[in-house]
Structure 1
Amino acid sequence: MMGIRFSALLVAFLASIPYLLDLATRREYPVPPPEGAVVVTGASTGIGAHAAHSLARAGFLVFAGVRKELDGETLKAEAPTLESQENIVPIILDVTKQEQIDKAVQTVSSTLASLEGRPLVGLVNNAGVGGSNKPVEFQSMDDLRWLFDVNFFGAIATTKAFLAHLRASKGRVINISSLAGLTVAPFMTDYCASKWALEAFSDALRVEMGELGVSVSVVEPAYVTSAIFGKIATRVKETADSVSEKVMEVYGHLVQNPAYTRRCIEKASPPTVTSDAILHALTAKHPQTRYVVANVDGLSAKVIGWMIWMFNDRIKDKLIEISRLRQRKAQ
């Protein structure tokens, strides 16, 4: 009995270490004024659209990056209140096109100047795409470069373009990564690599900006109800249906069961978890450097994050193997 009690206390203590260290080393930043403006990329659907509505409802002027005018009209029309609708300004913004980024900066600058110099206090780099769901051996280099253009280089280009504004206001940069930016999974090498790159960029930028009063945070969601996970489910099924016999001989043990993916999506957290994290990262006196949110098949992403922090690579590899075996047996 004493042994069980000691083990439980030890686990509780180890689990509390990240929280205690964060509490001891947290940093204070200037709180942005409520009349400030925020740029949100990838705001047409899903996490980005929900974040745009959430920030607009909180009183921020939101420049919502969309790829088509119709997407912007829909975003405004679906705003929950008239006030939040008025706080949303759609801008055409494909983060892979520098000319659109430059034009967005001009639009934001001129609009804020016409509003008695309201400051730009936040940038939410949310634009992103899912991976190919193929073994790396069969991933197209063109597709891989395009994915990095959106998920990684697009975030850098947009940050560079708005950074002078954010330095002037001592604002916040919030990058939407993924739990895949902390761990890996078979057939997700392209997506995971892009998110790990975004994590490294965020860490380096946080160090560069720290003394300048600009906070940099990363939101790392697991499964959240959004368009990107619907597309992942489709790709998983397509992979399972289309993998050739030759490929199955080599990689069949890694093909994810579509039933497992559907189950994860059915249990996905609502986008409020990401919007709440974004709002905290934007407005808190002590913003976190990382926000691990949502779940995987009902298991809290925070628990998974703790396991990633605790275990060495070989143990994590074995857990992924066990997880894949469990997925293949999922009904």
Structure 2
Amino acid sequence: MISPEVMGAVVVTGASSGIGQATALRLARRGYQVYAGFRRPEAGRQLTGRSPNLVPVHVDVTEQDTVDALRERLTHELGVVPLRGLVNNAGTTTAAPIEHVRLDDLRRVLEVNVVGQVAMTQALLPLLRRDHGRVINISSMGGRIAGPIMGPYAASKFALEAVTDALRREVLNQGIEVVAVEPGAVATPIWSKVDATLDVASMAPEARLRYGDLIVGMQQAVFKASASHGVPPEEIAEVIEDALTRRRPRIRYLVGPSAHTRVFAARLLPSRVFDRILTGVVRRVGARTAAARSGAQDTTDTKEA
């Protein structure tokens, strides 16, 4: 049983890196007992010892037995300490044109980003109801706007937005706040992971002809740019803390300049105009990048000759 002197307990899933880790550390420093969820054993070892208020816990949101084990642990350990919040942050992504996305990859993204969040919420909602806690779902700007090549990920975040809205209305009179945090570009390792799944050179010639510029453009304009120029995870963690502690939190927190700019443009412009601008920019970046790479290769070939 944990000390009743702490401000309360919070569960953060996907706490091994990025937004989840930044949030877990920030809330632990604030005085919360943070159960920091990790999926891989090595990630748990990295979390150990980071803060006396940080408790690494193995939970894979797609494995019901680990979700149930965490619920049982919290039931026994919390005692009179309230469960203040569940931060549903665990997530994964994949990128591909809808025509060519592997269905197993699509199922995996939906299983982690939607079904897993529902599993965690179902497991902990009785404790959150008892303690008037909060559910904070880490969605995305992609839950409002589906960019090219990012359809599978956006589909999961659109679904998570629907789950968040439905849950918020269902527990309206139960003392539970339900909040969506919607970051734009964030400097986290997820971009290098998704970038690694895209290989234009290995695509069939017809697919490369149709989608090559879009894929390369997204790699340059979104993935690499986000990894180097996105807002730091600590900024998102600050927003999550506000959502957890403010007396009346917002229903949605749109975070980061890229998110605000793109959502504003999508609201202001007719959909077909917005489509042409967004896709046109991405294709031009891709075409320029491909041309530059081709030129560099020609120069190398000339020198070798």
1:166-315 matched pairs, under 5 angstroms? 166-235=128-197, 238-257=198-217, 258-260=219-221, 261-295=223-257, 300-315=258-273
Q: CA RMSD in A?
A: 1.8
Q: Residues 80-229 of structure 1: matches in 2 within 5 Å?
A: 85-113=51-79, 117-131=80-94, 133-229=95-191
Change (3 A) 1:249 1:73: closer
Q: What letter is aligned with 1:177? A: S
8 A contact 1:134–1:239 mirrored in 2: no
Q: What is the CA-CA distance between 1:43 and the residue it aligns to?
A: 0.8
- Normalised by the length of structure 1, the TM-score is 0.81
Distance in 2 between residues matched to 1:122 and 1:67, nearest whole Å: 20
- Aligned residues of 1:46 and 1:227 also touching (Cα < 8 A): yes
Partner Cα separation in structure 1 for residue 213 and residue 44 of structure 2: 43
Distance in 2 separating the partners of 1:136 and 1:303: 25
Q: Which residue identity lines up with residue 255 of structure 1 in the other structure? A: I
After superposition, give the CA deviation of every residue in 1:205-236 in whole Å (9 maximum; x if it has no partner). 1111222221111111112121212212323x
TM-aligned CA deviation for residue 34 of structure 1: 6.5
Task: Give the secondary structure class of the aligned counterpart of 2:10.
Answer: strand
User: Which position in structure 2 is the counterpart of 1:70?
Assistant: 42
Aligned to 1:48, the other structure's residue is in SS state helix
SS in 1 for 2:48: helix
User: Could you tell me which amino acid in structure 1 is paired with residue 279 of structure 2?
Assistant: E
Q: Identical aligned pairs, as a percentage?
A: 38
Structure-2-length-normalised TM-score: 0.87
Count of matched residue pairs = 283
Q: Distance in 1 between matches of 2:151 and 2:172?
A: 31
Structure 2 counterpart SS, 1:138 = coil
Partners of 2:98 and 2:262 in 1: how far apart?
24
Aligned-residue offset at 1:145:
1.1
Decide whether aligned partners of structure 1 residues 259 and 313 sit closer, same or farther in structure 2, where only a CA change above 3 A counts.
closer
Q: Is the 8 Å Cα contact of residues 223 and 229 (structure 1) preserved in structure 2? A: no
Q: Distance in 2 between matches of 1:209 and 1:112?
A: 23
**Mapping 1:41-80, distance limit 5 Å:** 41-77=13-49, 79=50
Q: Distance in 2 between matches of 1:311 and 1:164?
A: 43
Structure 1 residue 198, shift from structure 2 partner:
0.2
Cα distance in structure 1, aligned partners of 2:264 and 2:231 = 19
Structure 2: give runs of 5+ residues left out of the alignment. Answer: 293-305
Give, in whole Å, the separation in 1 of the partners of 2:168 and 2:216: 36
Q: Partners of 2:279 and 2:46 in 1: how far apart?
A: 43
Moved over 6 A (4+): none
